[in-house]
Chains A and B, each alone.
Chain A
């Protein structure tokens, strides 16, 4: 079945350094990929979603590129901010009404 694998556990960075959170997937279809962000004591919110026309989605300085050849959708940002500290989930959908599959989540902690 479809599955998503993320960078495990906690990623700790110093403010200003680049961010890269890994996400790889397995799917028998051409899936849609998503990144969700959950700040402490808040609900998860959509951060990015993949496009079908190879455009690179961007939001709040974050971007991700869907690479079908490597089955990846890594989340990147050139310069981490303290406010980026949160839990990040990568998710996959087959676009066919089945429940999206979420990864285990990666906790990003940005230090001064």
Chain B
């Protein structure tokens, strides 16, 4: 089936550093999402992105967070600077949109550890 690829699968960085999480969505999908999941807790919506713009973001999407997809390459989540509470697994997802907006395909996640 369709695959969403995430790179890296795991990253360890020091607090205050910048990190970029990369996502290669399903090729014909138009809508892209980031979700955050702290160990043992529920998955929480961060942001969704369409046509080069942020469509919606949650309160968890702090000013230190940014997303972009330059020229159809990776859909990225950048955190600058990182904080201890940013340690989590970040899931990227994509969907076709329209009637299939709710049908998301998720990547395997990028586990971020901030020391």
Question: Could you tell me which A residues sit within 8 Å of B by CB distance?
Answer: 32-34, 36, 38, 42-46, 49, 87, 89, 91-102, 104-105
CB-defined contacts of A95 to chain B, threshold 8 Å: 98-99, 101-102
CB-based nearest B residue for A91: B102
Contact residue among A44, A93, A94, A98 (Cβ-Cβ distance under 8 Å from B56):
A98
| Docked complex: B26-76 residues within 8 A CB-CB of A | 31, 33, 42-43, 45, 48, 50, 55-56
- Tell me how far the C-beta of A85 lies from the nearest C-beta in chain B, rounded to whole angstroms: 15
Nearest chain B CB to A25 CB, angstrom units: 12
A104 touches B42 (CB 8 A): yes
Are A43's CB and B31's CB within 8 A? no
| Given known A-B contacts A42-B108, A43-B109, A93 and B102 have beta carbons under 8 A apart | yes
Q: Is the CB of A99 within 8 A of B48?
A: yes
Which listed residue (B97, B102, B106) contacts A49, Cβ 8 A?
B102
- Residues from chain B with a CB closer than 8 A to the CB of A100 are 95, 101-102, 104
| Cα distance A105–B45 in the bound complex, in angstroms | 13
Known A-B contacts A42-B108, A43-B91, A44-B106; the reply to A99 vs B43 at CB < 8 A is no
Decide if B107 is an interface residue (CB 8 Å cutoff).
Answer: yes
- CB pair A102–B31 under 8 Å, yes or no, is no
Partner of B101, one of A93, A102, A104, A105: A93
B103 contacts A by Cβ under 8 Å: yes
Nearest-Cβ distance from residue A84 to partner chain B, whole angstroms: 19
Q: Which residue of B lies closest to A94 (CB)?
A: B101
* B contact residues around A105 at 8 Å (CB): 42-43
Beta-carbon contact of B97 and A97 below 8 Å = yes
B45 touches A97 (CB 8 A): no
* B91: contacting residue among A32, A44, A91, CB under 8 A: A44
Q: How far is the CA of A38 from the CA of B106 in the complex (A)?
A: 10
Instruction: Determine the chain A residues whose CB is within 8 A of the CB of B106 once the complex forms.
Output: 43-45
Task: Tell me which residues from 85 to 100 in chain B have a Cβ below 8 Å from any Cβ of chain A.
Answer: 91, 95, 97-99
Among B50, B97, B99, which residue has the most Cβ atoms of chain A within 10 A?
B99
**A contact residues around B98 at 8 Å (CB):** 95-97
